[in-house]
Amino acid sequence: MSYTVLARRYRSTTFENIVGQEPISKTLRNAIDSERTAHAYLFSGTRGVGKTSMARIFARELNRSDSLTEEEAIGNAILRGEDLDVIEIDGASNRGVQEARDLIASAGLAPSRCTYRIYIIDEVHMLTTPAFNALLKTMEEPPSHVKFILCTTEPHKVPATIQSRCQRFDFRAIPSAKIAEHLSFVLKEEGVKADNSVIAEVARLGNGSMRDSLSILDRLLAGGSKTINADEMEELLGLPSQTAVSSLCSAIATNDMQKAFEASDCLIASGVALDRCLEVLSSSLRHGLIARVCGEHSPLLELSDESRKEATVLGNQLDEATITHMIALCDATGREVRRGGSGRALFDATIARLCMTGQLAEAGAVLSGNNLATTTSTKKKRINTLSTSQEAPKKQTATIEAIKPVASEKVTNSIPEVQVTPSITTTKITVEQALKAIAETPGLKRIAKYLQIVQLEINTISFAINNEGRESTNYILAQEQKIAEVLSTLANRKVTVSISASKAEQHASRSAVSLEVVEDNELVKVARGLFDGTVVQVTNVNKGNS
């Protein structure tokens, strides 16, 4: 006798048995009871979540009748997909317009025994556009004895014109806890014992699909063992050793680089790919993050009790920001490795960086001045210094100038005096030093001879532009900030510079007036026309020297 896989043997046969889709089951049951069933339905969702099983159960319930002498046999035939009145069509194999025309032609035939002639089209998104167009009219107004149930894993590929003619139900991924509960039932029926960690891991590997989880369980049962433990599961499925993964996470959390390298090498030696190692590591770090933020008993942690405790320990060793950074680093390195990067070298470098994350964070905090421990230590030192000063105050003298007390003598005596030590020694500059510094600075050499100092104070120097520099007034004024920087460096303090151009401006004003008068001169106009020139400057000529 041939073997029937678990996914088929333990397929749901009633609305109540479909795991994880209770709202849909309830709605369809109520629609039948109230006789408000539609002529077309669209069941969408990922693989293995119960779409086809729900379609068969729904079809059986629609065709139940007390008048049927073979009701049970007909119902079983519908669940097996072998009944004459419930036709299952594979959309991938019957996707052309001719198949759609054959379906339309057969829809006119009355059911042989049941109330309805029901068409279940699986993977309906595989139909061609002409096939969909051919079905439009029939799906909108089918014969009263015809109903359509369309199933698809990619609803976005189903034309909107088809979807608008259907009642749509979206099947959600099944929670791992419910999958684990069903797997426990199956194992009990099969007479096999398995550790809770094995059941939880198989449910997680199913990724929300009951069929995938049952297929994985089938692989484990094929080993022939009546008791399945974690080590046997890892060996049969080729999974990374959970012990090695836990050891790696612990080494990273404690910054033990040697232990981390040894644990990662153990994973690689067992045949696990580099990107898969990083994927498993990031998953374990994610569990630690969830345990730290949401608690050990959070439903977000789809783990066994032992694994929950390990995740909690990891979460207590690392803070949220560190774990988040580690997960991002694993993901980025995994992508690089898959692209064909440096392989093992890049992987080992990532493990080293993960171990050094805490040290790098502390170094960054020190550089940014945000190191909490340093700040706290500094505050304590300041408090101790103040206490000592209050017990035995020592009078200090400022190196710049005497500091006059602001408060009264009585108040001054109650507060210890503070030593004032300037970090930079200031220098008093002379006129010659200022002009020399300007003359020796690139970009300012040629304008030094055009400047004269009219006022020299400690922090302020005022210049005036002499007559020789009146033609370069704009350029000299633009260098004011640069001159201030040069003199500030020379004096070891901030020096403000102001440049006065009053004499040059007066000269320019006089020239401007003269220019307007000259431009109206007839001779000048003729000269400009002959030479295609422009008057740029007017110079007064002493007639006595002409």
Residue 234 to residue 475: CA distance in whole angstroms = 79
**Domain count of the chain?**
4
> So what's the pLDDT on residue 113?
85
Residue 321 to residue 440: CA distance in whole angstroms = 53
Final residue before a domain boundary, out of 147, 172, 197? 172
- For residues 15 and 106, membership in a common domain is answered with yes
Residues 309-322 have pLDDT tens digits of 889 999 999 889 89
Higher pLDDT, residue 363 or 103: 103
8 Å CB contact between 208 and 229:
no
Residue 467 domain-assigned? Answer: yes
- For residues 263 and 350, membership in a common domain is answered with yes
H/E segment holding residue 456: strand 451-456
- For residues 277 and 245, membership in a common domain is answered with yes
Residue 471 to residue 456: CA distance in whole angstroms = 25
Q: What is the largest CA-CA distance in the chain?
A: 142
Final residue before a domain boundary, out of 365, 383, 399? 365
Alpha helices in 108-159 (DSSP H): 129-140
> So what's the pLDDT on residue 478?
82
Instruction: Name the residue type at position 283.
Output: S
Residue 381 domain-assigned? Answer: no
Assign 506 a pLDDT band (cuts: 50, 70, 90). very low
Residues 221-242 have pLDDT tens digits of 988 888 888 888 888 888 888 8
Strand residues in 195-283 grouped as ranges (E): 227-228
Q: Which of 426, 503, 512, 435 is nearest to 469 (CA)?
A: 503
> So what's the pLDDT on residue 395?
39
Can you give the CATH number for the domain in which 292 is found? 1.20.272.10
Mean pLDDT of 345-355: 92
Q: Mean pLDDT score of the chain, rounded to an integer?
A: 80
Cross-strand partners of 451: 465
Q: Which of 279-288, 420-429, 477-486 has the lowest mean pLDDT?
A: 420-429
Final residue before a domain boundary, out of 313, 346, 365? 365
- For residues 512 and 496, membership in a common domain is answered with no
- For residues 136 and 107, membership in a common domain is answered with yes
- For residues 496 and 476, membership in a common domain is answered with yes
Range of the domain at 470: 431-500
Distances (CA, A) of 310 to 35, 243, 286, 542: 53, 11, 12, 102
8 Å CB contact between 518 and 527:
no
- For residues 62 and 167, membership in a common domain is answered with yes
Residue 473 domain-assigned? Answer: yes
> So what's the pLDDT on residue 67?
75
- For residues 155 and 266, membership in a common domain is answered with no
- For residues 525 and 483, membership in a common domain is answered with no
Handedness of CA 77, 81, 82, 86 (dihedral sign): positive
- For residues 262 and 355, membership in a common domain is answered with yes
Can you give the CATH number for the domain in which 97 is found? 3.40.50.300
Is pLDDT at 132 greater than 90 in this prediction? yes
Residue 128 domain-assigned? Answer: yes
Is pLDDT at 65 greater than 60 in this prediction? yes
- For residues 303 and 346, membership in a common domain is answered with yes
Is pLDDT at 347 greater than 50 in this prediction? yes
- For residues 315 and 444, membership in a common domain is answered with no
> So what's the pLDDT on residue 516?
56
